[in-house]
Structure 1
Amino acid sequence: MASLQLTTTLMGIGLAALILYLIRRDHLYVMHGLFWVFVASAAAFLGVWPGLIDKLAGLAGISYPPALLLLLACVVLLVKALHSDMVNTRIERDVRRLNQRLALLQADLDTQRQANATALESSSD
Structure 2
Amino acid sequence: MTTLNLTTTLLGIGLASVILILVRRDHLHLRHGAFWLTIAAIAALLGTWPALIDRLAVVVGISYPPALLLLVAVIVLLIKALLSDIEKTRIERQIRRLNQRLALYEAEREQH
Scaled to the shorter chain, the TM-score interval is: over 0.9
- Counterparts of 1:1-125 in structure 2, within 5 Å, are 2-112=2-112
Deviations 1:21-59 (A, max 9, x none): 111111111110010000001000001111100010011
Provide the C-alpha distance between the structure 1 equivalents of 2:99 and 2:26, rounded to a whole number of angstroms.
Answer: 27
Provide the C-alpha distance between the structure 2 equivalents of 1:99 and 1:29, rounded to a whole number of angstroms.
Answer: 24
TM-score, normalised to structure 1, is 0.88
Structure with more relative contact order (C-alpha pairs < 8 Å, separation 6 or more) = 2
Provide the C-alpha distance between the structure 1 equivalents of 2:103 and 2:24, rounded to a whole number of angstroms.
Answer: 38
Bigger Cα Rg? 1
Provide the C-alpha distance between the structure 2 equivalents of 1:93 and 1:25, rounded to a whole number of angstroms.
Answer: 27
5+ residue gaps, structure 1 = 113-125
What residue number does 1:123 align with? Answer: none
Q: Taking every aligned residue pair, what percent have the same amino acid on both sides?
A: 63
5+ residue gaps, structure 2 = none
How far has the Cα of 1:64 moved from its partner?
0.3
Provide the C-alpha distance between the structure 1 equivalents of 2:25 and 2:94, rounded to a whole number of angstroms.
Answer: 27
Deviations 1:63-111 (A, max 9, x none): 0000000000000000000000000000000000001111111110011
Q: CA RMSD in A?
A: 0.8
Provide the C-alpha distance between the structure 1 equivalents of 2:107 and 2:42, rounded to a whole number of angstroms.
Answer: 54
Q: How many equivalent residue pairs? A: 112
Structure 1 letter corresponding to 2:55: K
